[in-house]
Homo-oligomer: A and B are copies of this chain.
């Protein structure tokens, strides 16, 4: 059986991830994401009303026309986790393939909501939630498993495709967190077992491979947030926190710290509601009893109007807007576009890092300036990354001991950073270590 990997999206840029693996006549697609910063270039585009071909041209979704080059049948679309750069293009592309969409339960629920919001295409692929460690049989030669790992969203999986020539392991995105705040640590026993049984190819993210050491545990972010939130003993000022709406563990930490200092957590914003309510309903998380969640814009406005009248230390609004995104709640607060008013000494905490592109840099700068001018005190980077660092990759690579390695998640200028590590571990460029570009194929067996 001949096997090849097809780099569809995310190999020339950061975002719009999509990879296909062909084993004989059977094809498995992994991930169908969007590229958010291409979307930011076109502030007037409404994604849900735009056609795939236009979005491909703008570089927002993967250019899957290359799929026509290969012969075979798509048997499954697998999703590694719930971030938009991994599943956001499903409503635009999945209907072209007559195949079920497989992911962990939370991921499947998120993609279900995505599909519902789509206005241009009808996506009727079967949605198939697959729990960690269960096998999904694709055919009599191929099967699939979602192995437990950690990242900055719950229910993230490392996708493992078992083939007659060995496993193909797709590790976008992951961190080897031994002390997670939500969920269990990665399933090291399973990874070691897979490594021993034989890995044909590891397709791995490379985001932080040039960072020395290990990625700090989410526990560290918890300590950071708690250290600051609980340090104002008898402060009557407001305290507002912004973080990634999809980072349930972080939202939990913040809500609990709010509770600890006697304030009620108030989750505000459409995406905050989507990710957090879903997680709570599915029992992945339990927020403190005093927590409220409001997503609808009008309800958010009404809530802010109400709380601004009470004591400033009654609630902790947990809001979207950490990147200064136009239209997000924190940005609108900064612009005085909500009923809320920042006062001298109010604390605004950003539990996120800057997503480093010039657009975000400008928007954050503008937002921070406006908040400061109103007397707000800014706390930034109460955060740790969700992506493995160099020594995590070193450990993972030694654990799996794959025959081939493909570095993914970014253009070659980024993925090439993995080469040093691969060389240290005995791999050779273009022989058993590959850098790929969108639209390119790499034969493995």
Hey, which bits of chain A sit against chain B, CB under 8 A? 12, 41, 59, 176, 178-179, 212-214, 216-217, 219-220, 223-224, 227-228, 231, 347, 349, 357-359, 361-366, 369-370, 373, 375, 377-382, 391, 394, 411-413, 416-417, 419, 423-424, 428-431, 434-437, 439-440, 442
Contact = CB atoms under 8 A, between A and B. Distances in A.
A44 B391 CA distance: 33
Which one of A362, A370, A382, A419 has the greatest number of beta carbons of chain B within 10 Å? A362
Given A223-B220, A419-B413, A378 B428 contact: no
B435 A428 contact: no
Contacts of A436: 429-430
Contacts of A442: 430
B214 A378 contact: no
A365 B423 CA distance: 20
Contacts of A430: 430, 434-437, 440, 442
Nearest to A439: B428
Contacts of A357: 365
B412 A440 contact: no
Contacts of A212: 378-381
10 contacts: A12-B423, A213-B228, A213-B349, A216-B224, A220-B227, A357-B365, A411-B419, A412-B416, A416-B435, A435-B435
Nearest to A442: B430
A223 B216 CA distance: 9
A366 B214 CA distance: 22
Which one of A213, A217, A365 has the greatest number of beta carbons of chain B within 10 Å? A213
A124 to B, nearest CB: 34
Contacts of A437: 419, 423, 428-430
B440 A435 contact: no
Given A41-B370, A216-B224, A428-B439, 9 more contacts: A213-B228, A213-B382, A214-B228, A361-B361, A362-B363, A379-B391, A411-B416, A416-B416, A419-B437
A75 B220 CA distance: 47
Nearest to A366: B41
Contact of A377 (B347, B362, B391): B391
A289 to B, nearest CB: 27
Contacts of A41: 366, 369-370
B440 A429 contact: yes
Contacts of A217: 223, 227
A130 B364 CA distance: 45
A301 B413 CA distance: 40
Nearest to A220: B223
A220 B223 CA distance: 7
A375 B426 CA distance: 12
A7 to B, nearest CB: 9
B231 A178 contact: yes
Given A213-B380, A428-B439, A437-B429, A224 B231 contact: no
Contact of A227 (B214, B361, B411, B412): B214
A364 B359 CA distance: 10
A349 B214 CA distance: 11
A121 B440 CA distance: 48
A299 to B, nearest CB: 27
A35 to B, nearest CB: 12
Contacts of A361: 358, 361-362
Contacts of A380: 212-213
Contacts of A365: 357-359
A132 to B, nearest CB: 21
A361 B213 CA distance: 18
Given A219-B223, A365-B358, A214 B416 contact: no
